[in-house]
Amino acid sequence: MAHIGIGLLGCGTVGTGVVRLLQQNKQKHENFTGRPLRVEKILVSNMDKERAEIIDRTILTTDPDEVLKNPDIDIVVEVMGGTGLAKEYVLRALNEKKNIVTANKDLMAMAGEELFSSAAKNDVDLMFEASVAGGIPIISPLKNALASNKINKVMGIINGTTNFILTKMYKDGSDFSEVLALAQEKGYAETDPTADIEGLDAARKIAILASIAFNTRVTLDDVYVEGITKISSRDIEYAKELNCTIKLVGLAQETNGQVEARVHPVLLPLYHPLAKVDDVYNAVYVEGDAVGDVMFQGLGAGEMPTASAVVGDILQVGKNIVKNVSPRDNCSCYQKKEIIGIEDTFDKYFIRMTVADRPGVLAQIAGLFGDNDVSIDSVIQKKYCEGKADLVLITEKVQDRNLKKAIEQIKGLEPVYALENLIRVEKES
């Protein structure tokens, strides 16, 4: 029986997992597609590197053409990462009429449109389930099982590093920098953690999810991004007092045909399903008009969880090849919706400031909020040290633009020593 030929671009964490899983559940995969699957070639950069025993060193190569132009390869699996060579190789593979499976969120968020149009031109599949939330199935459910719904909102904890840090800060009362060092020691955070802690990794993923959920192209530039570096143990103390936790979320929603996409920390009430997603776990919460609320939860990274998603895509493509089915519609962005900027969005806010501990200060601050159409829902005021008080205000749902105007004016008040933090509050579940 003919094989389905697989070529890998990369054999690191994910590539090794893909090979391992293809071997582990070989018979099941063959039953699923109707044909055996065989890894024909693997592109690496260093032939001498030590690798897992399951890797057949005789099929390693440093020549990309041995994968891209190999007539025995039907599916090219891009698990090398980056956007330069990875993009070049994927485009070359598409032009060689190879189906593509990728785990690369950077590539999909940056060049999705170009790759989809090349896949359509060449009549091949382009699958990318592992690019968002690793092992958690979310792209295929949004594209298929939930296709009957009008999706109103997608909100996810889609970065394991920041979730580990915030969980530890919440549970132990530790400071951000202390927990970041621990995350680096445990291998949960990179030596340069910028992409994670500044929210950029999550921004790429929410751009991909928003594009699929709302059928319109959302790029990284459309996503408003705030990271977690300003979250302090004091913010967490107040969150606890308010029966909330603090999480970094990627959020995309459609209101009256307009789409917004953002990444920022939020105060989540403890009853919210996402509030219970801790440590390196990821979860994506979706609101559809028919299904209601659904949540997908699991490990967002790691060798085998990510391989689960990659091999799942390989099997779908394999089935298409065996059944001689034309590629399914790869790109779901068939509409063009307006993307709204952050200043036009509405949220509840948690505002923490250090102010002079004397009568009349709250009235002054409340007056400026009122002048800018910002209504206050509740207030906590506590003596902080001699002459200073912590003032925490929770607003009603207000427009970002109005809040910023008010904050600028409040910062100029003499009794306001510091605007310590401003965090959005998620109320509905």
Binding site residues, ligand NAP, CB under 6 A: 10-15, 43-46, 49, 79-81, 85, 103-105, 130, 134, 301-302, 306
Residue at shortest CB range from ligand NAP: 12
Tokens 């091999």 label which residue? 311
Q: Per the structure block, which two tokens stand in for 261? A: 């996409």
Collapsed DSSP state (helix, strand, coil) of residue 170:
helix
Q: Give the separation between CA 37 and CA 202, rounded to whole angstroms.
A: 33
Q: How far is the CB of 401 from ligand NAP (least distance, A)?
A: 35
User: Nearer Cβ to ligand NAP, position 60 or 239?
Assistant: 60
Stated as kind and residue range, the H or E segment containing 252 is strand 244-255
Q: Per the structure block, which two tokens stand in for 225? A: 């991004």
Angle CA(375)–CA(380)–CA(384) in degrees, nearest 5? Answer: 135
Q: Per the structure block, which two tokens stand in for 396? A: 């009603």
Q: How far is the CB of 87 from ligand NAP (least distance, A)?
A: 11
User: Nearer Cβ to ligand NAP, position 14 or 259?
Assistant: 14
User: Nearer Cβ to ligand NAP, position 8 or 351?
Assistant: 8
Catalytic residue status for 205: yes
Q: How far is the CB of 211 from ligand NAP (least distance, A)?
A: 18
**Under a CB-based contact definition with an 8 Å cutoff, are residues 109 and 219 in contact?**
yes
User: Nearer Cβ to ligand NAP, position 14 or 268?
Assistant: 14
Q: How far is the CB of 134 from ligand NAP (least distance, A)?
A: 4
**Under a CB-based contact definition with an 8 Å cutoff, are residues 295 and 274 in contact?**
yes
Tell which residue, 106, 105, 160, has the closest CA to residue 130.
Answer: 105
User: Nearer Cβ to ligand NAP, position 11 or 403?
Assistant: 11
Q: How far is the CB of 95 from ligand NAP (least distance, A)?
A: 19
Q: In the chain, count of helices (H) and strands (E)?
A: 14, 18
Query: Active-site residue among 98, 168, 205, 405?
Result: 205
**Under a CB-based contact definition with an 8 Å cutoff, are residues 1 and 35 in contact?**
yes
Q: How many residues does the chain have?
A: 429
Q: How far is the CB of 380 from ligand NAP (least distance, A)?
A: 40
Q: Which residues of 141-174 are buried (b: 16+ CB within 10 A; e: fewer)?
A: bbbeebeebebebbbbbbbbbbbbbbbbbbeeeb
User: Nearer Cβ to ligand NAP, position 64 or 318?
Assistant: 64
Which of the residues are catalytic? 205
